[in-house]
C-alpha cells in the first residue's frame, strides 16, 4: 500500500483520458460533432483532467461551482478548490448547442480534437461577472482597493486580461479526453502523469515529498529552497510548467536544460526528481499557489514550497501573501475534501557575503548591502538587457545556457519586476 499522500477529493485519481478501443471509437464519433475552438489555457486544463492532475474534476465547472470557488474556495459539493476551471464559448456557438448535446473541443493551434464533452449547463459571463472573478481571484494585497486594482490590472496583469478576454458564455459538463497533445514526445522524460510520478516516488521509498514550482530558470535561491526541502523531506520534486507563459518568460526546454545542469552538478541525484506539467500560468498569485498545492497532491506531493511572490505579477500581491493564504482557507471535514498538501513556507533567501553562503532573513543578521538579492524575474531582466549579473546570482553552468539563449533572441520584451525584488 502506498505511503504517499492520497489524491485530492477522496476519489483517487480521476482520469478522463481514454485509451485503446474506447479512444478509437470516441475519436471517430468526435469527427461528427459540433466543434468548439479552445484556448491554450483550456487545452492545458483538459490534459490535466485527462491525466488525473486535476482530480477530482472530471469536467468544466457549473455556475454554482464557479460562484462557490470564487467566494469560498469550494466546489458546490464542498470540496476545496481555489480557482475556476471553466470553458468559454461565443454566444453564437452556444446558441447552436442544446443542453445534453455532445460537442468536440478543438485545438486550432495543434489542429486536433482534444476532447468530447456533454453539455449539462450554459451560463452567461457578463463583463460584471468577469470583473467579479478577477476581483475575487486575482486581486491581492499589493492593490488593496478595487479602484487601485482596476487602474492598472487591465493593462498590466496577464491573468486578468485572460479572464476579461473570455467569450460571453461558459459551458459546463463532463469531458472525455482524447489526447495529451505533443507533451509526451516533446518533453519525453520530463512530462509525467501523476501516476507515473507517484510510481517514481514509491520506487524510491519516499513518503514525504516536497515540490518546487518553476516557471523561471533555477537560480541560487531556487537551489537553496530545494536543498532545504531535501533536508526535511524524503526528496524534492522539481516540477516545471511546460505550458504557455507570458511574453518574456523563458521557454520550458531552456529551463529543463538549466535544471539538468544543476541536478547533475550540485545535488545528490537520488534525492531529486525532475518533472513537467502541461498547464498555462494563470498569474493568480496566492490563489495560484493554492492551485499548485492542490494538483501537486495528486502527484503524491505532501509539501508545497512557497517562497516570496509565488506566481506573482509586478506589485499586485504582497511578497508573502501566497504563504498566508494557506492559513485562511476553509478546511472541509468530510473525508477527502480538504487540501492535504501543506505549504513549506520559506522566508526571503539570498547570498550573503558576510555569511559567505546562502541565507534567509531568519538566519542572516547582516544588512541588505551585504546581500545578493535573487529573483527569477531579475535574472531574466538582467540577461535580456545584456547586463552583468552580480557574483553568486546563479551557477555559471546555468548562466552560460541562459546567455546563449538570450544571444540568439531577435526580439526583446520589457520585463517588469516587483519593487521588493530590487531591494526597495
Catalytic residues: 215-216
Residue 167's nearest CA partner among 90, 253, 55 is 90
Rounded-to-integer distance, Cα 350 and Cα 344, Å: 17
In three state form, how does the secondary structure of the chain look? CCCCCCCCCCCCCCCCECCHHHHHHHHHHHCCCEEEECCHHHHHHHHHHHHCCCCCCCEECCHHHHHHHHHHCECCCCCECCCCCCEEECHHHHHCCCCCCEEEEEECCCCEEEEEEECCEEEECCHHHHHHHHHHHCCCCCCCCHHHHHHHHHHHCHHHHHHHCCCCEEEEEEEEECCCCCHHHHCCCCECCHHHHHHHHHHCCCCCEEEEEECCCCCHHHHHHHHHHHHHCCEEEEEEECCCCCCCCCCHHHHHHHHHHHHHHHCCHHHEEEEEECCCCCCCCHHHHHHHHHHHHHCCCCEEEECCCCCCCCCCCCCCHHHHHHHCCCCCCCCCCCCCCEEEECCCEEEECCCCEEEECCCCCCCHHHEEECCHHHHHHHHHCCCCCCCCCCCHHHHHHHHHHHHCCCCCCCCCCCHHHHCC
- In this structure, the strands spanning 169-177 and 112-118 are antiparallel
Taking only Cα atoms into account, the Rg of the chain, rounded to an integer number of angstroms, comes to 21
Is residue 47 within 8 A of residue 180, CB to CB? The reply is yes
- CB-based contacts of 138, cutoff 8 Å, min separation 6: 153, 157, 159, 160, 163, 283, 284, 285, 287, 316
Amino acid at each position: 500500500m502506498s505511503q504517499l499522500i492520497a489524491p485530492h477529493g477522496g476519489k483517487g485519481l480521476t482520469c478522463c483520458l481514454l485509451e485503446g478501443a474506447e479512444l478509437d471509437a470516441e475519436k471517430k464519433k468526435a469527427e461528427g460533432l459540433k466543434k468548439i475552438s479552445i484556448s491554450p489555457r483550456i487545452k492545458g486544463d483538459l490534459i490535466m483532467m485527462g491525466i488525473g492532475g486535476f482530480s477530482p474534476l472530471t469536467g468544466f465547472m457549473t455556475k454554482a461551482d464557479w460562484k462557490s470557488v470564487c467566494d469560498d474556495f469550494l466546489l458546490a459539493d464542498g470540496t476545496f478548490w481555489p480557482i475556476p476551471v471553466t470553458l468559454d464559448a461565443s454566444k453564437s456557438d452556444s446558441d447552436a448547442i442544446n443542453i445534453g448535446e455532445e460537442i468536440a473541443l478543438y485545438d486550432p493551434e495543434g489542429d486536433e480534437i482534444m476532447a468530447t464533452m456533454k453539455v449539462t449547463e450554459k451560463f452567461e459571463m457578463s463583463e460584471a461577472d468577469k470583473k467579479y472573478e478577477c476581483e475575487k481571484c486575482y486581486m491581492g494585497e499589493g492593490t488593496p482597493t478595487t479602484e487601485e486594482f482596476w487602474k492598472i490590472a487591465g493593462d498590466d496583469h496577464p491573468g486578468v486580461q485572460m479572464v476579461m478576454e473570455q467569450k460571453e458564455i461558459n459551458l459546463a459538463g463532463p469531458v472525455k479526453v482524447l489526447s495529451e497533445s505533443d507533451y509526451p514526445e516533446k518533453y519525453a522524460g520530463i512530462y509525467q502523469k501523476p501516476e507515473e510520478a507517484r510510481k517514481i516516488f514509491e520506487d524510491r521509498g519516499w513518503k514525504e515529498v516536497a515540490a518546487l514550482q518553476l516557471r523561471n530558470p533555477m537560480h541560487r535561491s531556487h537551489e537553496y529552497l530545494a536543498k532545504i526541502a531535501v533536508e526535511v523531506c524524503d526528496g524534492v520534486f522539481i516540477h516545471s510548467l511546460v505550458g504557455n507563459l507570458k511574453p518574456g518568460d523563458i521557454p520550458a526546454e531552456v529551463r529543463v536544460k538549466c535544471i539538468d545542469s544543476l541536478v547533475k552538478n550540485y545535488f545528490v541525484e537520488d534525492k531529486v526528481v525532475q518533472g513537467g506539467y502541461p498547464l498555462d500560468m494563470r498569474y493568480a498569485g496566492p490563489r495560484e499557489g493554492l492551485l499548485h498545492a492542490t494538483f501537486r497532491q495528486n502527484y503524491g506531493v505532501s509539501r508545497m514550497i512557497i517562497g516570496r511572490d509565488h506566481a506573482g505579477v509586478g506589485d499586485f500581491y504582497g511578497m508573502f501573501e501566497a504563504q498566508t493564504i494557506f492559513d485562511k482557507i476553509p478546511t472541509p471535514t468530510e473525508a477527502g475534501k480538504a487540501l492535504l498538501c501543506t505549504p513549506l513556507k520559506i522566508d526571503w533567501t539570498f547570498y550573503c557575503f558576510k555569511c559567505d553562503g546562502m541565507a534567509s532573513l531568519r538566519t542572516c543578521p547582516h544588512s541588505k548591502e551585504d546581500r545578493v538579492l535573487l529573483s527569477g524575474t531579475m535574472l531574466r531582466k538582467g540577461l535580456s538587457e545584456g547586463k552583468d549579473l552580480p557574483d553568486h546570482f546563479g551557477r555559471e553552468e546555468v548562466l552560460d545556457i541562459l546567455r546563449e539563449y538570450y544571444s540568439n533572441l531577435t526580439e526583446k520584451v520589457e520585463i517588469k519586476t516587483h519593487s521588493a525584488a530590487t531591494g526597495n
